[in-house]
Amino acid sequence: AEGRHGPGGTPSEPEIHMSGVSSTRRRRKLMQMLSRIGIVALIIGAVFGGWWILNNRPVTPDITPEATENVGAGTQVATQPAAVVTDEGPTEEPDPISTIDSTISPLFPGEEDVIAFSSNRSGSYQIWALAVSSGELFQITDIPGGACQPEWSPDGLRLVFTSPCRANQDVYLETRLYVINTDGTGLEVLPPGLGSSDASWSPDGRHLLFTQALDQLRTQIYRLDLETGESVYMSGEDGLNFHPVWSPDGTRFVFVSTRQGGYRLYIKENDPDFVALTLTRSAVNYVSMPVWTPDSLQIIFVQRSATTGVFSQLYRVSLEMLNISDILLYKENRVSEGQILEQEVDPDIHPDGFRIAYEGWPDGVNHDIWVMFVDGTNRTRLTDDEGIDFDPAWRPLIP
């Protein structure tokens, strides 16, 4: 019988007809290949098109903002990026281009006694100068946001100051340092970034000491090289470190710190590796605003009781106290003898060493610039305005 295996039951190879099936498969493979080629071509075209667009699009030029702030006698502030402040301190920006006119004449020529100070008498805090003998006033800055903390260059032709300034305070977080000619021209911003304030000019004119605020509880002291724009960390301890002031010979500086608890004065050599020495011993009183006598032998400073906190008054301490280990032998004295109870802050000693300019408000209201002898006698009011006058700074003696 014939079955699946053919006649005789012997298995035989099935007869398969391939011609129709083979041509159909070939057509399918061809279509698949063409489809794939098309997809690859589309991808290549998209990539090339994107590359062409990126490399042939219009280029937008970088635009440096123009100066916008009018300062002093029509001078403008150049806009500069702020330096970055880290825990290690401020990073430096390139040296600002100097606009100082070396031929500038001194302010109030022939006037020996000139005081720069900050005042809001014009509606905002600005830097002013006062000729003491004539009473003549000159407004040096007119900066939106205000300016304060003026300090003279050794030649008496420039001032370094802090801006913006909207109040008299110890810690400034959003400020920078600026230098200006005393006629209100030639303003330049200095490299230290935001939070820089409290500048003190070295006697040789090469460096500035300044305070850099990281926050309200952390401020450090740096030394800025005005020729290179580089800053060096100087204070060496955490906490609040502020109010640095060069000694008259430039070998060391005094400053305020909370490193041992309380507010004390410290003396440090002009060397980052030098360990600061404690000058004042009282930890229960608030001390601030130190200045040197011209002979470098004493420090005049402000002290306020931490318990009563009523009056801030001027004291003096000899540098001989640096070598006194016995607290019972330590001495500091009021500048004014007797029971005079008046507010005395922001002292600055005249280059002749005989007079102290300071901020006072004996009526409890009107803050003005006063002057007295170094023994606390002959108190005289120099300014009398309804505004607040503070931060007095004597001009160096000009030959």
- Per-residue model confidence as pLDDT tens digits over 230-243: 999 999 888 999 99
Q: Is residue 131 part of a domain?
A: yes
Q: Is residue 119 part of a domain?
A: yes
CA distances from 214 to 173, 191, 208, 221 (A): 7, 16, 19, 11
The verdict on whether omega for the bond into residue 164 sits within 30 degrees of 0, i.e. cis, is yes
φ/ψ of 361, rounded to 5, equals: -150, 70
- The predicted-structure confidence for 353-391, as pLDDT tens digits, reads as follows 999 999 999 888 899 999 999 999 999 999 999 999 999
Q: Is residue 38 part of a domain?
A: no
- The predicted-structure confidence for 311-327, as pLDDT tens digits, reads as follows 899 999 999 999 887 88
- The predicted-structure confidence for 268-287, as pLDDT tens digits, reads as follows 999 999 999 999 987 678 99
Residue 36 pLDDT level (bands cut at 50, 70, 90): low
pTM of the predicted protein model? 0.75
CA distances from 16 to 4, 59, 86 (A): 15, 70, 84
Say if strands 344-349 and 137-139 run parallel, antiparallel, or are unpaired: unpaired
Give 350's Cβ-side CA count (13 Å radius). 16
Q: Is residue 360 part of a domain?
A: yes
Q: Is residue 51 part of a domain?
A: no
Per the structure, the count of domains in the chain is 1
Q: Is residue 399 part of a domain?
A: no
| Gap between the Cα atoms of 55 and 67, Å rounded | 34
**Average pLDDT for 186-194:** 96
DSSP letters along 286-329, please?
EEEEEEE-TTSSEEEEEEEETTT---EEEEEEEGGGGG---GGG
Give strand ranges (E) for 110-175: 114-119, 126-131, 137-139, 148-152, 158-163
Residue 250: which region, alpha, beta or left (left: phi > 0; alpha: psi -120 to 50)?
left
Range of the domain at 90: 69-394
| Gap between the Cα atoms of 121 and 383, Å rounded | 11
Render the burial of 84-117: b for 16+ CB within 10 Å, e for the rest. Answer: ebeeebbebbeebeeebeeeeeebbeebebbbbb
Q: Is residue 60 part of a domain?
A: no
CA proximity to 221, closest of 188, 191, 254:
254
CATH code at 186? 2.120.10.30
**Average pLDDT for 165-176:** 90
| Gap between the Cα atoms of 281 and 259, Å rounded | 13
Q: Is residue 220 part of a domain?
A: yes
- The predicted-structure confidence for 236-266, as pLDDT tens digits, reads as follows 888 999 999 999 999 999 999 999 888 999 9
